[in-house]
Structure 1
Amino acid sequence: MKLDDLLRQIGEFGPYQLRLYLLSAVPTALVAAEALSVIFIFFIPDHRCAIPWIRNDAYSVNSGDQNSLVNLSIPYTEGTWDSCHEYNDVIHIDDVSGITDVMPRTNRSQSNCNRWVFDRSIFRSTVATDFNVVCDRSILRAESNVVSELGTVFGMLVCGILADRFGRKLTFVLSSLVLFAGGIGIAFVKSLGTLNICRFILGFARQSTYINGMVLGMEVLGPSKRAFAGMVICLLWCLGEFYLTFVAYFIRNWRYLEIAVSVPGIFLLSYWWLLPESPRWLISRGRDKEAMAVLQKIADSNKTPMPPIGDTKQLLEKDPQISLRHVFRSRELMKRLLIVALNIFVNVLVYYGVALNITNLSGDIFVNSAITYALEGLACGIALIVLGRVGRKPVYIATLLAGGVCCVLSVVPIMLGASAWVVTGLSMVGRFFIAISFAVIVIYGAELFSTFVRASAIGTCISFARLANLLSPYLADLALLVDSELKDALPLMVMGAPAILAALLALLLPETRGVNLPETVQDLETGIRSCCCREQEETSCPETTEREVEDPLTKAGRCDDIHVSTSVL
Structure 2
Amino acid sequence: MNVDDMLALSGDMARYQYLLMVLFSVIHVLSAFHYFAQTFISLEPEHWCAGSGLECMEPDQNGSMRACSSGWQYNLTGGFNTAVSELNWVCDDNWKPAVGQSLFFVGSVLGTLGLGIMADHIGRLPVLVLANVLALLGNVATSFTYGLTDFAASRLLAGLATDNNFFMMYIIVMEYMRPDMRTLGLNVCGVFYCLASAALPWLALLSGEWRHFLLYVSAPMLLVISYYWLLPESARWLIDQGRASEAARCFQRIAAYNGRGQIPSAAMDMFVDRVGRKALGSASLLFTGLFIGAAGITLATQGDDASDLLTAALGIVGRFGIGIAYNTGVQYAAELIPTEVRGQGVGLIHVAGYAATFFSPHILYLANYWRAIPELIIGSLSIVGAALYLLLQETTNKALPQTLEEGETFGEGEGVWEFACCKRRRSSVVSP
How does the TM-score come out when normalised to structure 1?
Answer: 0.56
266-275 or 187-196: bigger deviation: 266-275
User: Which AA in structure 2 matches 1:119?
Assistant: N
> Is the aligned partner of 1:468 residue 2:356?
yes
1:48 aligns to what SS in structure 2?
strand
> Is the aligned partner of 1:398 residue 2:354?
no
Query: Partner of 1:97 in structure 2?
Result: none
Q: Tell me the alpha carbon deviations over residues 453-494 of structure 1, each in whole angstroms, 9 at most, x when there is no partner.
A: x9899876554333124445x56998xxxxxxx99xx9x988
1:395 Cα shift? 2.7
1:262 Cα shift? 0.7
1:238 Cα shift? 1.5
The answer (yes or no) to whether the contact 1:49–1:117 under 8 Å persists in 2 is yes
Distance between the aligned counterparts of 1:181 and 1:506, measured in 2? 38
CA RMSD for the aligned pairs? Answer: 4.6
1:191 Cα shift? 0.9
Query: Partner of 1:498 in structure 2?
Result: 377
Query: Partner of 1:548 in structure 2?
Result: 401
Distance between the aligned counterparts of 1:175 and 1:151, measured in 2? 12
150-159 or 395-404: bigger deviation: 395-404
1:30 Cα shift? 0.5
1:118 Cα shift? 1.8
Query: Partner of 1:146 in structure 2?
Result: 102
> Is the aligned partner of 1:213 residue 2:178?
no
Picking from 89, 99, 106, the partner of 1:133 is: 89
> Is the aligned partner of 1:45 residue 2:45?
yes
> Is the aligned partner of 1:271 residue 2:243?
no
Identity of matched residues, %: 26
The answer (yes or no) to whether the contact 2:34–2:217 under 8 Å persists in 1 is yes
> Is the aligned partner of 1:84 residue 2:39?
no
The answer (yes or no) to whether the contact 2:13–2:177 under 8 Å persists in 1 is yes
Mapping 1:44-443, distance limit 5 Å: 44-51=44-51, 70=53, 74=54, 83-88=55-60, 110-113=65-68, 115-302=71-258, 385=271, 388-389=274-275, 391-403=280-292, 434-442=322-330
1:400 Cα shift? 4.7
Which consecutive residues of structure 2, in runs of 5 or more, have no partner in the other structure?
Answer: 261-269, 412-418, 421-432
454-463 or 130-139: bigger deviation: 454-463
Change in Cα spacing, 1:47 to 1:271, as seen in structure 2 (3 Å) is: same
1:205 aligns to what SS in structure 2?
coil
Distance between the aligned counterparts of 2:244 and 2:386, measured in 1? 49
Mapping 1:488-527, distance limit 5 Å: 496-506=375-385, 508=387
Change in Cα spacing, 1:37 to 1:298, as seen in structure 2 (3 Å) is: same
1:26 aligns to what SS in structure 2?
helix
The answer (yes or no) to whether the contact 2:137–2:158 under 8 Å persists in 1 is no
Q: Tell me the alpha carbon deviations over residues 422-473 of structure 1, each in whole angstroms, 9 at most, x when there is no partner.
A: x9999988755543343345567899x999xx9899876554333124445x
Which consecutive residues of structure 1, in runs of 5 or more, have no partner in the other structure?
Answer: 52-68, 75-82, 92-108, 305-383, 479-485, 519-531, 536-540, 561-569
Q: Tell me the alpha carbon deviations over residues 382-413 of structure 1, each in whole angstroms, 9 at most, x when there is no partner.
A: xx646745744333222355456668988999
1:32 aligns to what SS in structure 2?
helix
Change in Cα spacing, 1:251 to 1:427, as seen in structure 2 (3 Å) is: farther
The answer (yes or no) to whether the contact 1:402–1:430 under 8 Å persists in 2 is yes
How does the TM-score come out when normalised to structure 2?
Answer: 0.72
The answer (yes or no) to whether the contact 2:22–2:189 under 8 Å persists in 1 is no
Change in Cα spacing, 1:295 to 1:253, as seen in structure 2 (3 Å) is: same
Change in Cα spacing, 1:158 to 1:130, as seen in structure 2 (3 Å) is: same
Change in Cα spacing, 1:137 to 1:87, as seen in structure 2 (3 Å) is: same
Query: Partner of 2:34 in structure 1?
Result: 34
Change in Cα spacing, 1:187 to 1:15, as seen in structure 2 (3 Å) is: same
Distance between the aligned counterparts of 2:14 and 2:61, measured in 1? 77
Change in Cα spacing, 1:464 to 1:534, as seen in structure 2 (3 Å) is: closer
Distance between the aligned counterparts of 1:35 and 1:557, measured in 2? 35
Change in Cα spacing, 1:287 to 1:550, as seen in structure 2 (3 Å) is: closer
Distance between the aligned counterparts of 1:256 and 1:476, measured in 2? 37
1:37 aligns to what SS in structure 2?
helix
Query: Partner of 2:13 in structure 1?
Result: 13
Select the structure that is richer in helix: 2
Change in Cα spacing, 1:495 to 1:440, as seen in structure 2 (3 Å) is: farther
1:134 Cα shift? 2.8
Change in Cα spacing, 1:471 to 1:134, as seen in structure 2 (3 Å) is: farther
1:255 Cα shift? 1.2
Distance between the aligned counterparts of 2:49 and 2:328, measured in 1? 48
2:161 aligns to what SS in structure 1?
helix
The answer (yes or no) to whether the contact 1:149–1:470 under 8 Å persists in 2 is no
Query: Partner of 2:430 in structure 1?
Result: none
Change in Cα spacing, 1:302 to 1:118, as seen in structure 2 (3 Å) is: closer
1:160 aligns to what SS in structure 2?
helix
The answer (yes or no) to whether the contact 1:407–1:430 under 8 Å persists in 2 is no
1:189 Cα shift? 0.7
Change in Cα spacing, 1:467 to 1:119, as seen in structure 2 (3 Å) is: same
Change in Cα spacing, 1:445 to 1:169, as seen in structure 2 (3 Å) is: closer
Distance between the aligned counterparts of 1:238 and 1:191, measured in 2? 32
Distance between the aligned counterparts of 1:425 and 1:87, measured in 2? 50
Change in Cα spacing, 1:124 to 1:18, as seen in structure 2 (3 Å) is: closer
The answer (yes or no) to whether the contact 1:180–1:263 under 8 Å persists in 2 is yes
1:126 Cα shift? 0.9
Distance between the aligned counterparts of 2:299 and 2:204, measured in 1? 27
Query: Partner of 1:308 in structure 2?
Result: none
1:35 Cα shift? 0.5
Change in Cα spacing, 1:511 to 1:174, as seen in structure 2 (3 Å) is: closer
Distance between the aligned counterparts of 1:10 and 1:202, measured in 2? 38
Q: Tell me the alpha carbon deviations over residues 302-333 of structure 1, each in whole angstroms, 9 at most, x when there is no partner.
A: 557xxxxxxxxxxxxxxxxxxxxxxxxxxxxx
1:148 Cα shift? 0.6
Change in Cα spacing, 1:147 to 1:227, as seen in structure 2 (3 Å) is: same
